[in-house]
Structure 1
Amino acid sequence: MEMRGMMGGLYKISEWIMRLFVINVLWILCSIPYIFLLSPVFWSEPDAQVIPLILSSIVAPFTLFPATAAMFSVARKWVMGETDVPLLRTFFRNYKENYKQSMFGGIIYVILFVVLIADLKVYWNELQSFKLVSYLFIGLLILLTVSLINFFSMVVHYHMKTVQLLKNAVLLTIGRPIRTLSTIIMCGIIVFISFSSPKLMFIIPFFSGSIVAVIAFWNFYGVYLKLQLQAEKAAEAAAEAERLEHEGAVQEVVLTKENEEQDSSK
């Protein structure tokens, strides 16, 4: 029997808290090697942060990226209305299915992030006269982060080659500036809340990743539905044009035949 009223609302809220919690914990557990190697960055001196960053960057495509893709696969089910899917089975099945693509895509993204961050550091710290250029690299880093989020959404939603997914993730990020901006704002708010206070940092291991995944895929799915609608309208217009062209050709044949019959009767 379905509960209604305030009790029903509280039950649904607690159900969603449980879902977000379970998926976020699975994401953290599957990313433990990356988290373990990255953790010294948060308490080390700047000079001692280089090695942990390098090691965690090497490990990220093999742990963090497949785990994130699996988390997005569950978020996809939720956004598309399948809220009662088995969490563990859905997560680990998609972890296995999307492992190679998320790993190869992760290697490309890690290389791009390393290049941009290295350039940003050079312009920010060493080339003071070109410091304004560093803001360009900050903007590129933000766009690259959004394209990475779109990449995860596409990995779990489309059956494409990795190169096509990477290209389409970048094109979607650049071609839909409003959606890109909304993704930056909404995901940025979650990240800011998670890190804004030590008292709120419990959100990171329990909810932040899964909430970002739901928001990001919901935003991506809105674009997907619009593109699908546009494609359907274009297909209908093409079919109508083909039908009219066919009717015109048939009519022309009939008129030609009638003219030939009239000529023969004369």
Structure 2
Amino acid sequence: MNNMNSKLYSMFEWITRIAYLNVIWILLSLAGGIILGFFPATVSMFAIIRKWLRGNTDFPLFRTFWDHYKREFWKSNRLGFLVDGVIVIFIFDYWYIFNYHPELIWAQILLFALTLLFSLFIFYLFPTYVHFDLRVMAILKQAFLLMLIHPLHTFFISVCLASLFFLFYLLPATAFIFGGSGYAFITMWLCMNAFHKLHERTPS
């Protein structure tokens, strides 16, 4: 019975911890007006989860998050401007093709394929940022390379996230409580495994 109580306590502790992390992520994203707050808040959230996955849980959550947020504010926003620029290009391309050239089926298929590739690349972007000490352009290159050489991990991330989003669809309130942190936990966990395999292959 004591063992069961201990496991239940640990489970509820992690649920509370992940929910609290999600609240902090939302608040500090809003604090930066979303445009300037989203990327530093998201990078900070992934950095926190990376600490947890490496066995480090004994630290003040908000203060550690805030320290990462301040330290990575400008670098993460430089990355954000590049990513947002690509998204704007995609939106313009969709608008242009579907409004002026709907007959170009090949262009629509190509655009869908590029959108899918970009979405898979995003899975690795934030984990790569917090795991490797790289410049912005090197982060983009490394994340894209990891996506290409780890198709199995990409598949597992996609399946796990699809299951998570299905849960959010069934229980919309959980999206507000665990939306960002749930996504980050799944992608960081699987990407950490991919990073470990990469380190094993790399000669020391």
TM-score, structure 1 length as denominator? 0.70
Pairwise CA distance, 1:23:
0.4
The alpha-carbon distance between structure 1 residues 132 and 193, as it changes in their structure 2 partners (threshold 3 A), is farther
Given candidates 41, 49, 52, the residue that maps to 1:78 is 52
Given candidates 108, 132, 135, the residue that maps to 1:134 is 108
The alpha-carbon distance between structure 1 residues 132 and 67, as it changes in their structure 2 partners (threshold 3 A), is same
- The amino acid of 1:77's aligned partner reads K
Given candidates 7, 12, 16, the residue that maps to 1:14 is 12
Q: Which runs of 4+ in 1 moved over 4 A?
A: none
Say whether residues 1:96 and 2:70 are aligned partners.
Answer: yes
Q: Which residue is equivalent to 1:202?
A: 173
Q: Which residue is equivalent to 2:196?
A: 225
Q: Which residue is equivalent to 1:258?
A: none
The structure whose RCO (Cα within 8 Å, separation 6+) is larger is 2
Pairwise CA distance, 1:132:
4.3
Q: Given that residues 120 and 138 in structure 1 are in contact (C-alpha distance below 8 angstroms), is that contact kept between their aligned partners in structure 2?
A: no
2 CA distance for matches of 1:165 and 1:31?
A: 22
Q: Given that residues 109 and 148 in structure 1 are in contact (C-alpha distance below 8 angstroms), is that contact kept between their aligned partners in structure 2?
A: no
Say whether residues 1:215 and 2:173 are aligned partners.
Answer: no
Q: How many matched pairs?
A: 204
Q: Which residue is equivalent to 2:133?
A: 159
1 CA distance for matches of 2:109 and 2:163?
A: 21
Superposition map of 1:54-69 within 5 A: 60=35, 62-69=36-43
2 CA distance for matches of 1:193 and 1:133?
A: 34
- The amino acid of 2:11's aligned partner reads I
For residue 85 of structure 1, give the secondary structure of its aligned residue in structure 2. coil
Q: Which residue is equivalent to 2:156?
A: 182
The alpha-carbon distance between structure 1 residues 180 and 136, as it changes in their structure 2 partners (threshold 3 A), is farther
- The amino acid of 1:120's aligned partner reads Y
How large is the Cα RMSD of the aligned pairs? 2.0
Q: Which runs of 5+ in 1 are unaligned?
A: 37-58, 236-266
- The amino acid of 1:181's aligned partner reads F
Pairwise CA distance, 1:33:
6.2
TM-score, structure 2 length as denominator? 0.90
Pairwise CA distance, 1:69:
0.5
Q: Given that residues 30 and 67 in structure 1 are in contact (C-alpha distance below 8 angstroms), is that contact kept between their aligned partners in structure 2?
A: yes
Pairwise CA distance, 1:71:
0.6
Identity %: 30
The alpha-carbon distance between structure 1 residues 102 and 165, as it changes in their structure 2 partners (threshold 3 A), is same
Pairwise CA distance, 1:14:
0.7
Q: Which moved more, 1:166-175 or 1:214-223?
A: 166-175
Q: Given that residues 153 and 220 in structure 1 are in contact (C-alpha distance below 8 angstroms), is that contact kept between their aligned partners in structure 2?
A: yes
2 CA distance for matches of 1:67 and 1:191?
A: 21
Pairwise CA distance, 1:190:
1.7
2 CA distance for matches of 1:140 and 1:132?
A: 12
Q: Given that residues 102 and 152 in structure 1 are in contact (C-alpha distance below 8 angstroms), is that contact kept between their aligned partners in structure 2?
A: no
2 CA distance for matches of 1:207 and 1:186?
A: 14
Q: Given that residues 98 and 155 in structure 1 are in contact (C-alpha distance below 8 angstroms), is that contact kept between their aligned partners in structure 2?
A: no
Q: Given that residues 23 and 71 in structure 1 are in contact (C-alpha distance below 8 angstroms), is that contact kept between their aligned partners in structure 2?
A: yes
Pairwise CA distance, 1:148:
2.5
Q: Given that residues 77 and 83 in structure 1 are in contact (C-alpha distance below 8 angstroms), is that contact kept between their aligned partners in structure 2?
A: yes
For residue 82 of structure 1, give the secondary structure of its aligned residue in structure 2. coil
Given candidates 83, 98, 109, the residue that maps to 1:109 is 83
- The amino acid of 1:31's aligned partner reads S
The alpha-carbon distance between structure 1 residues 105 and 215, as it changes in their structure 2 partners (threshold 3 A), is same
Say whether residues 1:170 and 2:168 are aligned partners.
Answer: no
1 CA distance for matches of 2:149 and 2:87?
A: 21
